[in-house]
Amino acid sequence: MNFSSFLLLTLLTAIGATNTHAGDATDCVRGNASTSGLTGEQKVQLCQTATSGSPAECYSASTSLGLSNDERIQLCKGATSLAPIDCFRNDTASQGLTNKQRIKLCRTKRKRSVVILEK
């Protein structure tokens, strides 16, 4: 076992000690290639409260938003769907706000918006 594997194993153990959904958090950390560039600490931040792989999926889908890794983590941690991204991109209430304000507004979104366009 190399040092990186040891560190990740230690972090996953720490997640398990603080999260009743430890299996889901572990899946979140390991299950998405887009998180491979994150440090172990960043993966823990993203996935610590995960109840599914959704935070990693959200993080992966947020690449086009022009946010830093830390901002993407703040937007997606605790996500249960891609709703935070939909909100960040499309929510008219968030227009004119700073990225920090938009992240705070949108990270609590739980359900994806459905937009129906009429002809």
Query: How big is the CA angle at 99 (ends 44 and 39), to the nearest 5 degrees?
Result: 20
Please state, for a pLDDT cut of 70, what percent of the chain lies above it: 62
Let me know if residue 85 belongs to a domain.
no
- What total of structural domains would you count in the chain? 1
Q: What is the pLDDT of residue 119?
A: 46
The answer to whether residue 71 is domain-embedded is yes
pLDDT at 73 over 90: yes
Determine the pLDDT at residue 30.
67
Q: Which domain holds residue 53?
A: 3-79
pLDDT for position 20? 45
- The long-range contacts involving 98-103, CB below 8 angstroms and separated by at least 24 positions, are 99/67, 99/71, 100/71, 103/67, 103/71, 103/74, 103/75
Query: Which tens digits make up the pLDDT trace of 23-42?
Result: 567 768 765 666 777 888 89
**42: in domain:** yes
Is residue 88 situated within a structural domain?
A: no
The highest-confidence range among 27-31, 48-52, 92-96, by mean pLDDT, is: 48-52
CA separation for the pair 93, 111 (Å, rounded): 16
DSSP state of 64: G
